[in-house]
Amino acid sequence: MRLKNRHVLGWLEAAPLALVLLAFLIAPIVMIVIVSFWGATEFSIYPAFQFDNYEFLFGSPVTYRVFWATLKYAFITWALTLVIGFTAAYFLAFHVRSLGMQVALFLVCTIPFWTSNIIRMISWIPFLGRNGIANQTLISWGVIDEPLEWLLYSDFSVLLAFVHLYTLFMVVPIFNTMMRIDKALLEAARDNGASGFQTLVHVILPLTKPGIMIGTIFVVTLVMGDFITVRFMSGSQSANVGRLISNDIALLQYPSAAATAVVLLATVMIVIAILLRFVNIRKEL
């Protein structure tokens, strides 16, 4: 009887959170899936059950180019944020001895997040522009003779903005995981003659995999769902899936936008499922 009452009490405690998830997560996704099968004209949308939106989506070569560009941005951003984030987290966790200094340096990393993403992103434009600080400095130093056109409104500027915006999402989980590593393991590795590199590869890296995986999921999902960064930093010369959805919404083509969103969601879920095959996060944490 007591066990039954505990189960009932557990369900009652979980009910408010379940209702919140149902109302703000499950219900909107279900609605998007339903609308993706609707039809649309130039001036209206109408309920239906048809596959026209998906047929058009998968029948257009533009779709495959845009999805490839999105995956390319996600992969390159992930690689760069992983290198930068792991290095920063490693320095904070193992080279900064004072807890107060660790907290201070970590807060320094969060300073860019005190402003909005758009402001941080747009701040690169006067720096990278043809007459911007970067080009003028390189010319004054004699490194180049004329401004570099590819610094702004290119894939380079898009990736630079992505790395700037999302590196902290890689630093935080990796740093959190590294701080939980027992320092006695590092001392044991050194006592057994392991070099710093061997300790990093065989001790620290395996124990940091959960943090790396969580950071990877954050960065990949954020990049694949982003659209404003690509729009501003490429000068509307590049596109990703987010921009494709945004353009459809601007044209009031909600069923088409919903279909693209469903495919994007499925793609992200497949990527996450593949990532989770490498590390069981629940078991490791």
Residue 16 lies in a domain: no
**DSSP bridge pairs for 40:** 45
As a whole-number percent, the residues of the chain with pLDDT over 90 amount to: 34
pLDDT in tens, 269-280: 998 888 888 777
Q: 3-state SS string over 160-210?
A: HHHHHHHCHHHHHHHHHHHHCCCHHHHHHHHHCCCCHHHHHHHHHHHHHHH
Residue 208 lies in a domain: yes
Those residues with Cβ within 8 angstroms of residue 120's Cβ, 6 or more apart along the chain or in another chain: 112, 164, 165
pLDDT in tens, 227-254: 888 888 888 788 889 888 988 888 888 9
Those residues with Cβ within 8 angstroms of residue 30's Cβ, 6 or more apart along the chain or in another chain: none
The whole-number pLDDT of residue 239 equals 84
Residue 54 lies in a domain: no
- What is the pLDDT averaged over residues 47-66? 91
How far is Cα 85 from Cα 90, in angstroms, rounded to an integer? 8
The whole-number pLDDT of residue 11 equals 67
The whole-number pLDDT of residue 185 equals 85
- 168: its two tokens: 């902290």
Residue 21 lies in a domain: no
Find the CATH number of the domain harbouring 245. Answer: 1.10.3720.10
Residue 85 lies in a domain: yes
What is the chain's mean pLDDT, rounded? 86
pLDDT in tens, 13-39: 667 888 888 888 889 999 999 999 998
User: Residue 205 sits in which domain range?
Assistant: 61-284
Those residues with Cβ within 8 angstroms of residue 106's Cβ, 6 or more apart along the chain or in another chain: 92, 175
- What is the pLDDT averaged over residues 246-265? 91
- 189: its two tokens: 């590795």
- 118: its two tokens: 């758009």
pLDDT in tens, 176-210: 898 888 888 888 888 888 888 888 888 889 889 98
112-to-31, 109, 151, 235 alpha-carbon distances in Å: 35, 7, 21, 23
DSSP 215-230: HHHHHHHHHHH--HHH
- What is the pLDDT averaged over residues 209-235? 90
How many residues appear in the chain?
A: 285
pLDDT in tens, 154-181: 899 999 999 999 999 999 999 989 888 8
Residue 66 lies in a domain: yes
Which one is predicted more confidently, 113 or 72?
Answer: 72
The whole-number pLDDT of residue 6 equals 61
Q: What is the amino acid identity at position 66?
A: V
Question: Distance between terminal CA atoms of the chain?
Answer: 33
Residue 94 lies in a domain: yes
The whole-number pLDDT of residue 259 equals 94
Instruction: Determine contact, residues 269/257, Cβ cutoff 8 Å.
Output: no
Domain count within the chain? 1
Residue 56 lies in a domain: no
Residue tagged 């279909």 (tokens):
259
Q: What are φ and ψ of residue 164, in 5° steps?
A: -65, -40
- Quote the pTM value: 0.87
Residue 132's SS3 state is coil
Residue tagged 């609308």 (tokens):
35
Q: What is the amino acid identity at position 122?
A: I
As a whole-number percent, the residues of the chain with pLDDT over 70 amount to: 93
